[in-house]
Structure 1
Amino acid sequence: MENKINLKALVDKGSNKIIFIESGNAFIDVLLSFLTIPLGTIIKLGRKHSAPVEIGCMNNLYSSVEEIDVSELRSDACREMLLLPRNAAESHCKYLVLQIDHNAKPTRYFGCSRCRNQTTKKLFRFNSGGTRCGNCGCCTSGEEIPFSVDVASAFVKERARLLITGDLQLISPFSESIDSLFTNLGVTNRNTTEELNLNIGVDEVVNLLLSSLVSKTALTETLLKHKPVAKLTNENNYQAIHIDPQIVGETVLTEEDNISIKLIVCKSKNIVCYAEAGEDFVNLLFSFLTLPLGFVAKQMQDGSLKGCIDQLYRSVQDLDEQYLKSNHHKEMLLNPKLVPGFCYKNLLGIEEASYYYLDGKLTTDSSLIPSYAPLESYKIEPTDNNSSARGFLKGPAFFTVTDNLVVRPISTILELSVLDKLNVPFTDIEKRVVLMGKKEALSLLMASFDSDSALTNAFISKPYQA
């Protein structure tokens, strides 16, 4: 029997909108887990939706990974890393009352007895026992090492209760901002409201996740079933999105770190028709699928997202120890990290999680380490034969990338067909070579998430500015 969570909602009868819902820790944890989910997982979930959701160019990236020939990949596992990316917070999320991605295989960690005897810190590896250790090559089933996690709740305290507004703001039941909720909706007296009891399951939670990316009234659209989820594309005019230079670092790094791409631009329309690039650029594009949603929300919280996931992110910033279990749990949501081995070049400035071995268990919480002991003495490095540090693709290789991020091995036929569809003659194109550093990589990520013309908006229109 499917688990359900009971929620009590206050609805404005005039507008038929949810003013807020009252919630305990079970649903709050599910909601906060949205920030930890990789974009590739969200695309996969969106495909099962009754009205498939298109998130900028991310769907095209996902399809490109599906369709690329295995001979282009460094290993079969690289495709799975992108299509079924791991969640660095999965040890917390697997105990949620409602499992969004219930088909995902949990990552398991095993100790290698040979490595342990050699007193190296690379004691653990991914996947299941019975395979070779990624560190020493020893074939041993090993001993599974559990994570140290409080199963009573994932991110908030067990008895925490909050109000969740229609646009996913989390507010205290004692907050003065409750009055403004009624004012903004034009609710003048209690007679214009009604209480509803709602039972929600996995389907409703998935719909809420998808709606949070495209709607400012996600709870209403999901729970009162107003209308199907819209597309997240560039149908509306952009506003500039500020990217903090302190976050992204310098634009130009070393020559080795920069990525060079060739843009074929239509001069009269001032758009990118397509790009020609090496495997390093495509590795970066594909790595977008491994990024947690909270990382994107962090970059765009001061911008003009069509949805309200940024409201959820800002709400977590304002929550204190009265509700969250610890500063570590807050950090997991505001600065979500990648699973070790999933970071490519780190042009985007996202970190990999650090793992520590304490009292026979794994943890990512460094505050649990005794203050008298150096962190490095407890830190371990999970080993895996399938690291993305060298990328997902074999090199050298060259690719054609369309403006909406359809990726194919270099193809003159594809390039000609793109020009035909755009009705662009050869006399109206020019080639521009651009170098990508951290700032440009983040701009491209934002454009990929929020636009169906990612190359044009990242390199020509530049609505995403530092």
Structure 2
Amino acid sequence: MASKTFTASIKLLIDQERNTVLLAEARNDFIDILRSLLKLPLGNIGLLFRTNKSLLTSCLDNLNNSIENLSLNSFRTHACKRMLLHPRSIHKDKSVQYFTCNKRGCGLLSYYGTSRCSCGKLMNSEIYLEGMERDGVKDENEGGFCKVESMFFISDDLRVMKGLPGDLIQFLNKLGIKDVNMNAVRELEIGSAEIFNLLSHSLISKTTLTDVFLRKQVTMLVERPLLIGPSTMETTAKDGKTRVKILERKSDRKILYAEANEDFVDLLFSLLTIPLESVLQLVGDSYIIAGSIFNLFNDLNTIFSIAKPKTLQDYSWPKRIFSFLTHPLGSVYEFVTKSKDSKKVVLPPFYSCPNEIPDICSQQPPAYCLVTDTSRVNRRYYLESAINKRGGPLKLLDPKSPEPNTTNSSGYVEKNSLFVITDDLVVKPLSSVSSISLLKEMGVAVDDVEEQVISIGEIEAVGLLRACLCSSSALSDLMKVYV
């Protein structure tokens, strides 16, 4: 994944007369890091942007800050806050840890050392997988796309193509470039800061390479409508369970803030757990971004099939059987065969799946058994796959549930909670004092406030997902559906 010490060499072909980048030439390492960034959950993307002082839309930044600022009492468990601040991805995940209690015989396993066992003890004793196997989906190109060195061409608007000489000539002809003497070649050594800056510019710029490497300008957020009104074939869920009270200023119809319970806040927070490439799949490339990130996403998808949905035809019979036997509770085979429709987005086990976005599901947890190694002087405990073991598999606890015996719980936020949400998605606990303070800060009189209750369906949820990428007024965008 992206490292703070990452460096790569690229060559820029520059139109000196127009001071624009015509093309970049890069090797596997540069393309690999772009691909790895697309696989990161939105929450991790936000943290990387913040660390490297790149462009970050206020909605995404505010959601991350809200989670950090909320007390642990606002979450169902201590693990909930950690899950949201550092969401896992199914594509890595070298950071997976396992914990049991010291009693050992309770039959429970946890991803977090803050969970409580059924015996009442803290599950803070870390235990390791034999052979250091991991839960995440192993990338078919892990460690790089190609075993041999490859070259790629990248256009100013992030179109990616294999680096063949004939393709370069064809590309220059399309641009009307005939005299190559007017062009300069510049070789650059770039690091993580430039990579994250490139990714952030890709959200709003059609001349991404020029803006990042030549103009080096501070990008400004481009405000544009993110939602379209529902058509006759596509309507909002007016009778949905998740309802939000929107408060507007009557004089100019400006959105002031929203009041909502934990269901809506769970939806907002859970958006941070969705990988960037999956966000792009869900929202589509229409009515969203003025930038070039969809060019990058679509071309990498075409070249390397990074977002190709898994079907039965993608797995040979031996591989499917092996997957089922080694992970009987969480295999791709079980997931595909039990689903009538192929899901677009798969999150790690126990990560909330917003009901408002039906194309998201969670993996089933893997099945492991506790093994005792008595051959050593100091007895050692470790985990192995549950297949062919006499004892039953350990039960993996849902880290979001405060009760060890609860299964399939959902939601990160404490039940029966109320929150106030600003237009740019700052989330705070709701109280009468907080509401009055907000009106006071905005200079709004009480008699100039009007309430409207809306229901959240799939269109609204996807619209909020879009807002996390490229908006600073998510609630205003949301209300456009109801105009």
TM-score normalised over the length of structure 1: 0.74
1:190 corresponds in structure 2 to 180
In the alignment, the residues of structure 1 paired with residue 206 and residue 76 of structure 2 have an alpha-carbon distance, to the nearest angstrom, of 41
1:386 corresponds in structure 2 to 399
Question: Which residue, 277, 288, 295 being the options, matches 1:294?
Answer: 277
Question: Which residue, 342, 346, 357 being the options, matches 1:337?
Answer: 346
2:147 corresponds in structure 1 to 158
Q: Is 1:209 matched up with 2:199?
A: yes
In the alignment, the residues of structure 1 paired with residue 236 and residue 118 of structure 2 have an alpha-carbon distance, to the nearest angstrom, of 35
SS in 2 for 1:18: strand
1:49 corresponds in structure 2 to 52
Aligned-pair CA distance for 1:47: 1.8
2:445 corresponds in structure 1 to 425
User: What residue ranges of structure 2 are gaps of 5+ in the alignment?
Assistant: 316-331, 333-342, 369-386, 402-408
Q: Which moved more, 1:437-446 or 1:398-407?
A: 437-446
Q: Is 1:445 matched up with 2:465?
A: yes
Question: Which residue, 254, 271, 275 being the options, matches 2:258?
Answer: 275
Q: Give the 3 Å change call, closer, same or farther, for CA 252–6 of structure 1 in structure 2.
A: same
- Encode CA deviations 1:418-439: one digit per residue, 9 max, x unaligned: 3344443333322111111222
In the alignment, the residues of structure 2 paired with residue 73 and residue 357 of structure 1 have an alpha-carbon distance, to the nearest angstrom, of 27
Q: Is 1:4 matched up with 2:7?
A: yes
SS in 2 for 1:413: helix
In the alignment, the residues of structure 2 paired with residue 258 and residue 187 of structure 1 have an alpha-carbon distance, to the nearest angstrom, of 57
1:14 corresponds in structure 2 to 17
Q: Is 1:146 matched up with 2:161?
A: no
Q: Which moved more, 1:453-462 or 1:285-294?
A: 453-462
2:219 corresponds in structure 1 to 230
**Does the CA-based 8 Å contact 2:157-2:207 persist in structure 1?**
yes
- Which residue identity lines up with residue 252 of structure 1 in the other structure? A
- Which residue identity lines up with residue 467 of structure 2 in the other structure? A
1:364 corresponds in structure 2 to none
In the alignment, the residues of structure 2 paired with residue 191 and residue 207 of structure 1 have an alpha-carbon distance, to the nearest angstrom, of 30
User: What residue ranges of structure 1 are gaps of 5+ in the alignment?
Assistant: 95-105, 359-376
Query: Rg larger in 1 or in 2?
Result: 2
- Which residue identity lines up with residue 164 of structure 1 in the other structure? I
Aligned-pair CA distance for 1:221: 3.0
In the alignment, the residues of structure 2 paired with residue 347 and residue 268 of structure 1 have an alpha-carbon distance, to the nearest angstrom, of 32
Question: Which residue, 277, 292, 311 being the options, matches 2:295?
Answer: 311
- Which residue identity lines up with residue 15 of structure 1 in the other structure? R
Q: Give the 3 Å change call, closer, same or farther, for CA 107–219 of structure 1 in structure 2.
A: farther
- Which residue identity lines up with residue 146 of structure 1 in the other structure? E
In the alignment, the residues of structure 2 paired with residue 188 and residue 37 of structure 1 have an alpha-carbon distance, to the nearest angstrom, of 40
In the alignment, the residues of structure 2 paired with residue 30 and residue 172 of structure 1 have an alpha-carbon distance, to the nearest angstrom, of 16
In the alignment, the residues of structure 2 paired with residue 325 and residue 267 of structure 1 have an alpha-carbon distance, to the nearest angstrom, of 45
- Encode CA deviations 1:117-136: one digit per residue, 9 max, x unaligned: 99xxx9x75358x9888999
Aligned-pair CA distance for 1:70: 1.6
TM-score normalised over the length of structure 2: 0.72
Question: Which residue, 411, 417, 422 being the options, matches 1:397?
Answer: 417
Question: Which residue, 416, 435, 454 being the options, matches 2:474?
Answer: 454
SS in 2 for 1:208: helix
- Which residue identity lines up with residue 126 of structure 1 in the other structure? Y
Q: Is 1:435 matched up with 2:422?
A: no
**Does the CA-based 8 Å contact 2:89-2:348 persist in structure 1?**
yes
Q: Give the 3 Å change call, closer, same or farther, for CA 412–300 of structure 1 in structure 2.
A: farther
- Which residue identity lines up with residue 96 of structure 2 in the other structure? T
Question: Which residue, 342, 349, 360 being the options, matches 1:350?
Answer: 360
- Which residue identity lines up with residue 27 of structure 1 in the other structure? F
Q: Give the 3 Å change call, closer, same or farther, for CA 18–244 of structure 1 in structure 2.
A: farther
SS in 2 for 1:319: helix
